[in-house]
Amino acid sequence: MNFNLAKWVSFIMIIFLLSLLADGVGAEVGSKGLTNEIVELEEDGVDPNHSQAREKVLDYINTNVSETFAGMYIDREEKDLGVLVFLFTEEPSNHHKAQMKNLIEEPTEICFKEVAYTEQELMERQDEVNKDGLDYENFTIYHTGIDIINTKVEIGIAPYSEENAQKLYDKYGQDLINVVEGSKASTLEMQPLETAEEGKVTTIKPEESTSDDEGLNFFQKIIEAIKGWFQ
């Protein structure tokens, strides 16, 4: 294989690898695009958190069906404005669902979901995990948090293994907890999810070391370097 042909083969392989990396950058840019769209909605006078509608429905729940209420969150998977999801341990009657829907106006949408545990029960189990201690013989618990969407207490451990996770499932019950790989707190930051009462539900997100622009500039520099091969 002559030198020029080798350069072309290397060029094609590098472009292929860069295309895979670019997909990751594009996904990150897309997530920030959603944030920008929400900001634009606020500037247009639209409340993306549906504060008034949420308060009206919660007031109705507190008066009429508080005994089965389990929590709520905003689902933005299908639309930027999101859907208010109200959780109950028993599905509300058609009468109560109709009354709650009558309290809201467009563009707000609500739906109802039946779950096994209330937010309070999850908080109690989280407190139990924390009070029992974080250091075990073969692993350490680095974070706990309430996942209201999946109605689980998330527990992050390191080192993670199925055997270590099973010890916690045996102790606290697999239906109430979800064990994931955790990291030291110094490399993670807590990010709150949108809930009826902010601060009770948290997820873990790695700190970002570079911006989208820096990532794109990196690809541009690689391309420029490759161009230099053929000049």
45, two tokens: 């006078």
124, two tokens: 């109690």
pLDDT of residue 193: 39
**Which residue in the block uniquely carries the two structure tokens 């944030």?**
35
* 158/164 Cα distance (integer angstroms): 9
CB 157 within 8 A of CB 164: yes
φ and ψ at residue 230, rounded to 5 degrees: -105, 10
Beta pairing partners, 135: 140
φ and ψ at residue 72, rounded to 5 degrees: -155, 160
Domain positions in the chain: 3-44+210-229, 51-114, 119-206
Beta pairing partners, 204: 190
Work out the number of other CB atoms within 10 angstroms of the CB of residue 183. 15
* 212/135 Cα distance (integer angstroms): 37
The CATH class of 51-114 is alpha beta
Tell if the pTM clears 0.75, that is, is over it: no
* 2/140 Cα distance (integer angstroms): 55
pLDDT of residue 107: 83
- What is the pLDDT tens value at each position of the chain, 231 positions in all? 555 555 555 656 665 555 555 455 444 444 455 456 555 545 554 566 788 899 999 999 999 999 999 999 999 887 778 899 999 999 999 999 999 999 998 888 999 999 999 999 999 999 999 999 999 999 999 999 999 999 999 999 999 999 999 999 999 999 999 999 998 654 334 443 344 344 343 333 344 444 444 554 555 555 555 555 555
Give the burial string for 13-34 (b: 16+ CB within 10 Å, else e).
Answer: eeeeeeeeeeeebeeeeeeeee
